[in-house]
Structures are given as C-alpha cells and as structure tokens.
Amino acid sequence: MLRFISLGSGSRGNATLIEADDTRVLLDCGYSARELTERLARVGVDAASLDAILVTHEHGDHIRGVGALSRRFRIPVWMTRGTSLAGDCGELTDLTLFHSDSEPFAIGALNVHPVAVPHDAREPCQYVFSSKGLRLGILTDTGCITPHIAHAYQRLDALLLECNHDLRMLAEGPYPPSLQRRVGGDHGHLNNRQAAALLEQMDRDRLQHLVVGHISEKNNHHSIASDTLLGVDADLENRLTLLRQDRASEWFEVTAEAEIEA
C-alpha cells in the first residue's frame, strides 16, 4: 500500500504525509507543531504515530515546526547535512544526515531516493519514493528542470509537482523586482510552463495522480496552471488535483495495476 495526502501547500507552509504499509513519513513541516497536529487530527492521524520527519530544505515554509514536532512526539528527523547546517530546528536527539546525491535509503517500508535540485538553499533536495515497485515523485522548490531531475522523475505512478507562478502574472504582480528575479530565476521556483515541460518529457502512462502544489496565491491562478498542464496531455484531466494552502487534500491512493483490475 502506498498513499499520500497534502496537509497544505504554498508559500505559507507545506507538509505532506506519505504512508507505505505501516510506515508513516511526514515530508516537511512548514506549520507550527500545534497547527500541524491539528491538521493531522482533521484527517484522522495522530501525530504521535509518525515514524519520521523528512525535510527538503531549510526555508521556513518547510521547516518551521520540524524541531518542536520532533521533540514533542519523539519523532526521528532526516535531512541533508547542508539543511541541518543552515536550518534552525533547535536540538534534535534523533537526527539522520545524508547528502543530496546519496544513494537511495529506506525509512521503514518506504524507499527514499534523494534528488539534488537547484534552489536558493544550502543543500536542497527533493525525493522519489518507492514501495513494492510503486513510485511517487515529489518536486517543489526547484528553479529549473536539470537533466538530473528529468532522468530521476520517470516511470512514476504519482507525481506532486510545483506550479508556482505564471510568468506574466509574476512580471505584472505585486512583488518588487528583486523578489521577482529570485522567484523566477534558475534557483527559484518552477513556473507553469517549466512544470509542463517536465510533464512532456515524462512517460505518463502509469501516472495515476498528478497533484499540483506550491501554487502562488499572488502570481498564479489555478485555471492557468491546470490549462498549461492539460495542454501537454488532455487525458490527464481526471487524474489532476490542485492543492490548497488553507486545507488538506483528499488521500491519493497509489495502486498496482493488478489491484485496479481486481
């Protein structure tokens, strides 16, 4: 069994829960420990049941509650060395460090394949997860699609992909020029067209869920993001979900083909 749920996604906080059999891993905790505990409770999950917190990078919208949540419920934390040097989590008693180019490793029943990405953080890292042959890719906070990323995000059964901004809305939007350059630069965030270009390069036959996240509330519209992605492949329409900042998504179940036919 492999399934995942977004507890919220966007520049004010990100957290995704991934379950493989009896293993529960929280990817990022960009909310306070209290807020995250409440969001988990609303979807029927006890924060004390988490097996690990895995972190992508040290920006506040990903790391805000990691230290407090880990200490309150004695949850082990996993992150890159660079993220631990740059991030402020306070004292962590059970911390496992790795590099963004590490070989895949296991957290319980979940296999974790770190993928180094260009982003304005110390050692940012995104992940392809796998369990019993099923593969889930999560890719946000990435300035551009490198060949390394395009190679890693293949043969996926589910993908959570950043569509941060629309280029024109960013240029005409409220951000000052320096922030526009940061967000739109090669170490910033993926725009709708960059996300669509990755999708175009992917083999999409196996893809059961295309989940769109880290959508800017000021520099993007859900309709522009979905239209841009569906422009690549209109058949994805009934597999497409756009995430919200203010609430959790539904659960996304990733199943083997045999189970679908059964």
Taking the complex as a whole, how short is the minimal distance between the CB of residue 251 and Zn ion, in angstroms?
22
Could you tell me how many residues of this chain bind Zn ion (CB under 5 A)? 3
> 141 vs 166, which CB is nearer to Zn ion?
141
Q: In what order do the strands lie in the sheet containing 15-20? A: 95-98, 77-80, 52-54, 23-27, 15-20, 2-8, 252-254
Q: What is the DSSP letter of 165?
A: B
The answer for residues whose C-beta is within 8 angstroms of residue 252's C-beta and 6 or more apart is 3, 4, 5, 158, 208, 209, 211, 241
Among the listed ranges 92-100, 141-149, 161-169, 231-239, the one in contact with Zn ion (CB under 5 A) is: 141-149
> 23 vs 56, which CB is nearer to Zn ion?
56
Per CB under 5 A, 141 contacts Zn ion: yes
Within residues 55-74, the interface with Zn ion by CB under 5 A covers 59, 61
Query: 234, exposed or middle or buried, with CB in 10 Å at 0-12, 13-18, 19+?
Result: exposed
> 2 vs 39, which CB is nearer to Zn ion?
39
> 23 vs 194, which CB is nearer to Zn ion?
194
> 20 vs 160, which CB is nearer to Zn ion?
160
Taking the complex as a whole, how short is the minimal distance between the CB of residue 12 and Zn ion, in angstroms?
9
What kind and span of H or E run contains 184? helix 177-184
Q: Which residue is nearest to Zn ion (CB)?
A: 59
Cα–Cα dist 181/135, whole Å:
34
Taking the complex as a whole, how short is the minimal distance between the CB of residue 61 and Zn ion, in angstroms?
4
Cα–Cα dist 254/1, whole Å:
7
Q: Which residues would be at the binding site for Zn ion (CB under 5 A)?
A: 59, 61, 141
